[in-house]
Amino acid sequence: MKTEAIIFDLGGVILDLGFEAMLARFLELGVTQQQLAGSRFFDEGFETGLVSADDCFSSLRALSGHDLSAREMTDAWNLMITDFVPERMAVLETLAKKVPIYLFSNTNAIHATYFKPLCEQQMGKPFENYFTKAFYSHELGLRKPYPEAFKKVLALSELTAKNTLFIDDNANNIKGAARTGLQTLHLSAPTTLLDLEFNL
């Protein structure tokens, strides 16, 4: 089947996720993993823009019983984002010369505000310049794995599902994409973006 465009996930595909570092920092602040999971940080509403960062902070303060500052929580939450890998970004640049490439990430306002300038600082190039278009769930108002989210991205990009490859590390997201008719590639550890071969 012909591949005319590629849609990439961000965390676990382009960037590794520092989940353990994030949890460890919150624990230092007196917040357990159970309390963090019960806060709005992992709420679908946060990743679809329906829940604000302030609401997340208030929720976590109430659950943990600690009067943490917004800065403390933001810094801890952003430990989820790791450094950019130049070799992976070079793969994106190479692919972009052959087919249009897109990004579709389940993310939130806090992380997006952090990783965009981090990319420019580390790579010398704005993150969104790597893609024809980048889509973020908190701006789109829809998130993976729901088929409606993929359909919206396809419509806004004027792409045909059967001719578009979607790459994600999350099996549920892959299933949602497949239900939409997208070509799919489940990138599971220890395989990385550098191990893939593209026949375009």
What local confidence, expressed as pLDDT, does residue 103 receive?
98
Residues sharing a CB contact under 8 Å with residue 113, sequence separation 6 or more, in sequence order: none
Instruction: Find where tokens 């790579």 sit.
Output: 123
User: What confidence tens digit (pLDDT) does each residue in 55-92 have?
Assistant: 999 999 999 999 999 999 999 999 999 999 999 999 99
Residues sharing a CB contact under 8 Å with residue 193, sequence separation 6 or more, in sequence order: 13, 14, 88, 91, 167, 187
| Residue 72 exposure: Cα atoms within 13 Å on the Cβ side | 15
Residues sharing a CB contact under 8 Å with residue 122, sequence separation 6 or more, in sequence order: 83, 84
Q: Are 45 and 51 in contact (CB under 8 A)?
A: yes
Statement: 19-80 belongs to CATH 1.10.3720.10: no
For 5-16+84-195, CATH number?
3.40.50.1000
* Residue 1: pLDDT over 80: no
In the chain, CATH 1.10.150.240 sits at 19-80
What mean pLDDT value characterizes the chain? Answer: 97
User: What confidence tens digit (pLDDT) does each residue in 123-145 have?
Assistant: 999 999 999 999 999 999 999 99
In the chain, CATH 3.40.50.1000 sits at 5-16+84-195
What local confidence, expressed as pLDDT, does residue 176 receive?
98
What local confidence, expressed as pLDDT, does residue 22 receive?
98
User: What confidence tens digit (pLDDT) does each residue in 13-51 have?
Assistant: 999 999 999 999 999 999 999 999 999 999 999 999 999
* Residue 161: pLDDT over 80: yes
